[in-house]
Amino acid sequence: MLRFCLIGTGRAGLVHAANIDRRIKDAQLIALCDADPGALRRAAAECSAGRQYLDYREAVRDPRVDAVIVATPAFLHREIACEAAAQGKHIFLEKPMALSVAECEDINAAAAQAGVTLQIGFMRRFDAAYVQTKEILESGELGPVMIIKSTGRGPGLPPPWIYDLSKSNGMLAEVNSHDFDSVRWLVGSEIARLYAEAANLKCDDARDRYPDFYDNAVVVLRFANAALGSIDGTCPAEYGYDARVEVLCEKGALFLGSVQDRGVSRVTCDGNVTTQAVESWRSLFREAYIGEIEHFISCVEQQTTPRATGLDGLKAVEAVAAANASITSGEPVTLEAVRRT
């Protein structure tokens, strides 16, 4: 039985809270923490957790807490994660891991020093279709990857703090961290170089104050092993949550994901055949969100390495930084160049 404190009671945080409360037997949510008293109160009403904290420093000192789930905005990740590590708490850290490679390095160092388990919230690595894709690629039956393409679109308006790229690293960080992690994991090779085009095509209200904000981006990738790739991201796409991957290999191709949900399809007198789009990452990755926490618990209990490590988190942050640098400079950017800065 692992006792959790959730730090950050936004949407992703509440998904974890509900899973621990209702679906994961060997875990207990005993505490909540949010700097916003209103959010904390609302979350407490939904959860079984008896303890509430406004200050994460107190939360991570609670001796009854074994592990924290950090689901705050990314610019707070470093200080919270490092403090939690210092207090000997195991850390489940939502993506993006942090705002910069340097911050990621700090977190990794803190966790290593404290000897606590650190897992990044790349839940796609726990989704049955992603796992199956990884297995097929690793089996070699389709030969090496030639081109991988990943599309990641979110349905909702981004919260305003994302407009400020210095605080958020933008949509590529908030939405497409998953895509950067997925393509790297699936190809089994590091991104070597990328070029990105981006535009603000929907968020008129952000244009004046945040001229570098973008809500659409297309990134072309070259991997160290010579494979090519692309990532495209849009938020909000409005029609739903859209996560699809296509992998072209030398001897075939794989297609993962669909715009369509698994629901009923209907045909009406106007001749329209209609199904529902995937509405949310909550429904699409329901089992993966449960699976990653069960995996985290097992890693803590058996002292094994999580499937999504702090290094994986760092690599995704690095790629996002490169893409943002490419958008700013209008030039292709090597990951090596990002690493040197």
- Residue ranges in 15-54 that form contacts with a copy of itself under rule CB under 8 A: 21-23, 25
Please identify, among the stretches 37-45, 127-135, 298-306, 315-323, the one whose residues bind a copy of itself according to the rule CB under 8 A: 127-135
* Backbone φ and ψ of 318, nearest 5°: -60, -45
Closer residue to a copy of itself (CB): 144 or 188: 144
Enumerate residues 70-109 that contact a copy of itself by CB under 8 A. Answer: none
Asked whether position 298 contacts a copy of itself by CB under 8 A, the answer is no
* Least Cβ distance, residue 331 to a copy of itself (angstroms): 7
Toward a copy of itself, which CB reaches closer, 53 or 130? Answer: 130
Query: What part of residues 148-167 is at the interface with a copy of itself (CB under 8 A)?
Result: 149, 153
CB of 305 to a copy of itself, least distance (A): 24
Q: Which of 2, 184, 172 is nearest to 96 (CA)?
A: 172
Residues in 197-216 at the binding interface with a copy of itself, rule: CB under 8 A? 197-199, 201-202, 216
Report whether 242 contacts 260 (CB < 8 A).
Answer: no
Instruction: Return the residue of 172, 254, 297, 327 that touches a copy of itself, per CB under 8 A.
Output: 254
C-beta atoms surrounding 4 within 10 Å = 27
Residue 61 in contact with a copy of itself, rule: CB under 8 A: no
Rounded alpha-carbon distances, angstroms, from residue 26 to 6, 23, 301: 16, 9, 11
Is 320:95 a contact under the CB 8 Å cutoff? no
**Residue closer to a copy of itself, measured from CB, 248 or 311:** 248
The secondary structure element, H or E, covering residue 48 is none
Using the rule CB under 8 A, give the single segment among 50-58, 77-85, 191-199, 302-310 that binds a copy of itself. Answer: 191-199
Which one-letter DSSP state was computed for residue 330?
A: T
32-41 burial code (b ≥16 CB/10 A, e <16): bbbeeeebbe
Q: Using the rule CB under 8 A, which residue among 251, 301, 336, 337 binds a copy of itself?
A: 251
Which of 271, 179, 278 is CA-nearest to residue 229? 179
